[in-house]
Structure 1
């Protein structure tokens, strides 16, 4: 499996994979593909990676800036992450996340937040931090990973692209 940055020619495939990956998920808003497009169109898709198997795209991960108490503190959000249904549970998502986090840290980012399944994301070093919160979601599903310095406190807001629908 190879991992590389997205190219303009990948956009339609990323959209298809994202829609297919989230289609059976009961918790999904079914707007994840639109969120990625909105982030890209706003220039807020800081890192966008695809996973390839024999030259064919099988997965995607996105990272975009977040604010804490309305301020840019050098933190980013992970997601959406999607893997083509016939390649799920193969480690593709994990490889994409690890590579994305490594690239993000190299950019000088201070840290990353994620909203997701704790048992899954804790394996990448994400932890719950009571002082860092995302309103409207159960605290146990919102986690952070610091690359540099302590985890800040405050209310996190994802980019407006997450309001896409």
Structure 2
């Protein structure tokens, strides 16, 4: 298993994985739109021994209260069914967090499964007076500070790119 930054030749494999993992095309369309508009801050793939994409994670810019604070949103995270339960999702998240930290990003937000992400160190964003546009997501909207002072004096609505509003 190899985890690395995505390259253009990975796009068809990422697309196929997202369509399988999410039982539809919304996430695949989202990633395609973000990629086309240069809005993928970071995309990582996990490939098997034959080079097939079996895991994927993407990060894209978000604004807080209308300002760019060098934060990113994690979405989507996908692991092919035969590889689930082996820690691959966790590895993809940690690899992404490490890379983003090295690049100087301040924090990561995610709208996802609270049990999974809190186990990885994410905290409920609401406890920092942060929220997103989707109603009734308080328990699933989480934040992971990469910089020591990332959450100091920051509050308000976290906005993903408008591409997220179409899916």
Q: TM-score, normalised by structure 1?
A: 0.92
Task: State whether residues 36 and 161 of structure 1, in contact with CA within 8 Å, keep that contact through their aligned partners in structure 2.
Answer: no
CA distance, structure 1, for counterparts of residue 136 and residue 30 of structure 2: 18
Provide, for residues 85-140 of structure 1, a one-character-per-residue CA deviation record: whole Å limited to 9, x for no partner.
22122211111111011101111101000001111001221001320101224201
Gaps (5+ residues) in structure 1?
24-28
Task: Tell me whether 1:163 sits opposite 2:161 in the alignment.
Answer: no
Q: Which runs of 4+ in 1 moved over 6 A?
A: none
| Match of residue 133 from structure 1 | 131
CA distance, structure 2, for counterparts of residue 75 and residue 150 of structure 1: 9
Task: Tell me whether 1:35 sits opposite 2:18 in the alignment.
Answer: no
Q: Classify the secondary structure of the residue corresponding to 1:138.
A: coil
| Match of residue 26 from structure 1 | none
| Match of residue 44 from structure 2 | 49
Provide, for residues 10-35 of structure 1, a one-character-per-residue CA deviation record: whole Å limited to 9, x for no partner.
10110010110011xxxxx8511111
Gaps (5+ residues) in structure 2?
none
Aligned residues: 160
CA distance, structure 2, for counterparts of residue 140 and residue 22 of structure 1: 21
Task: State whether residues 66 and 159 of structure 2, in contact with CA within 8 Å, keep that contact through their aligned partners in structure 1.
Answer: yes
| Match of residue 103 from structure 2 | 107
What is the aligned-residue RMSD (CA, Å)?
A: 1.4
Task: Tell me whether 1:72 sits opposite 2:65 in the alignment.
Answer: no
Task: State whether residues 18 and 78 of structure 2, in contact with CA within 8 Å, keep that contact through their aligned partners in structure 1.
Answer: yes
